[in-house]
Amino acid sequence: MGRRLKALEAVIGQTLFQRTAHGFVLTDEGSAMLPHAERMEEEFLSLERAVAGSDYRFQGGLRVTSSDWFGVHVLTPVFARFAEMHPDVTIELVTDSRIYSLARRETDLAFRITRFEEVDVVQRKVMRVDYAAYRKRGMEGDPRLITMDAALSHLPDAIWLAERLPGAPVAFRSNDRQAQARACAEGLGIAVLPIPLGDLQPQIERLDLGAAPPARDVWMGYHRDLRRLPRLRALIDHIVEGLAADAAQF
């Protein structure tokens, strides 16, 4: 990158960045050029999406992002069935809390528990996930809690658990639902888990705390420029059908 910046500066005859001990800082000339560069980038990304959206071959790759537990326990079984029908399509699943950009094609398809706020995104609610409180089978004694880390303590299920068991000490925190499920199976305490994850764990059982934790909606989104991409359309249709069938089990 440094070599490319020097080459650009040499071509236009201006210093665009000031090199400092903390990194690169835009000069006045660089700040003036930045909006033009951003428009050029957006035009290139738009062209890239348009070309990808006009690819009518039923082969190639698709990048999908979701949360960890949802990708592993909900999407992967659906992807496996899709791969049997379409062996020339490669699915890349990235499970991460980071929000990937659909406009920049960091991902082709994304799943989130909140609505998409980006422009030019086609989105739909694909399922509603119910939650339940769980504990290790046969576990007794004063309750301790397994909950989200401090950064995610505002989530509805974390608030619900604290309100249902006020004063109960926290034994374990994690932003990873699978880690929470494992901690629950090890007997560390009571956890609120998505039912599609919790019911798959043979060592734990549902616990009635007088009311059900709040459910969450799952939203699926993709950039509108890719709406005619055959392999993406086929995957979306398969996911919608597969999630509807799987949701009936819980």
Q: Give the 3-state secondary structure of residue 121.
A: strand
Residues of the chain with pLDDT under 70: 38, 41-57, 246-250
Q: Where are the domains of the chain?
A: 2-53, 60-128+216-247, 131-207
Asked if 124 and 219 touch (Cβ cutoff 8 Å), the reply is: yes
Asked if 237 and 231 touch (Cβ cutoff 8 Å), the reply is: no
Alpha-carbon distance of 144 to 186, in angstroms, equals: 13
Q: What is the pLDDT of residue 246?
A: 65
Q: What is the pLDDT of residue 201?
A: 95
Q: What is the pLDDT of residue 247?
A: 61
Q: What is the pLDDT of residue 29?
A: 75
Asked if 74 and 246 touch (Cβ cutoff 8 Å), the reply is: yes
Dihedral sign for Cα atoms in the order 156, 158, 159, 162:
positive
Contacts of 98 (CB under 8 A, 6+ apart): none
Q: What is the pLDDT of residue 55?
A: 53
Q: Judging by DSSP bridges, how do beta strands 190-194 and 131-136 pair with one another?
A: antiparallel
Dihedral sign for Cα atoms in the order 189, 193, 196, 197:
negative
Q: What is the DSSP letter of 71?
A: I
Domain 131-207: CATH superfamily, name plus number: Periplasmic binding protein-like II (3.40.190.10)
Residue 132: is it exposed, middle or buried by C-beta count within 10 angstroms (0-12/13-18/19+)? buried
Q: What is the pLDDT of residue 11?
A: 77
- CA distances, 134 to each of 37, 117, 124, 203, 214 (Å): 52, 33, 30, 10, 14
Dihedral sign for Cα atoms in the order 241, 245, 246, 248:
positive
Nearest in space to 176 (alpha carbons), one of 200, 203, 154, 148 = 148
Neighbouring-strand partners of residue 223: 121
Alpha-carbon distance of 196 to 57, in angstroms, equals: 34
Q: CATH topology of 60-128+216-247 equal to that of 131-207?
A: yes
Q: Which CATH class name applies to 60-128+216-247?
A: alpha beta
Q: Which amino acid would we find at residue 144?
A: R
Asked if 102 and 110 touch (Cβ cutoff 8 Å), the reply is: yes
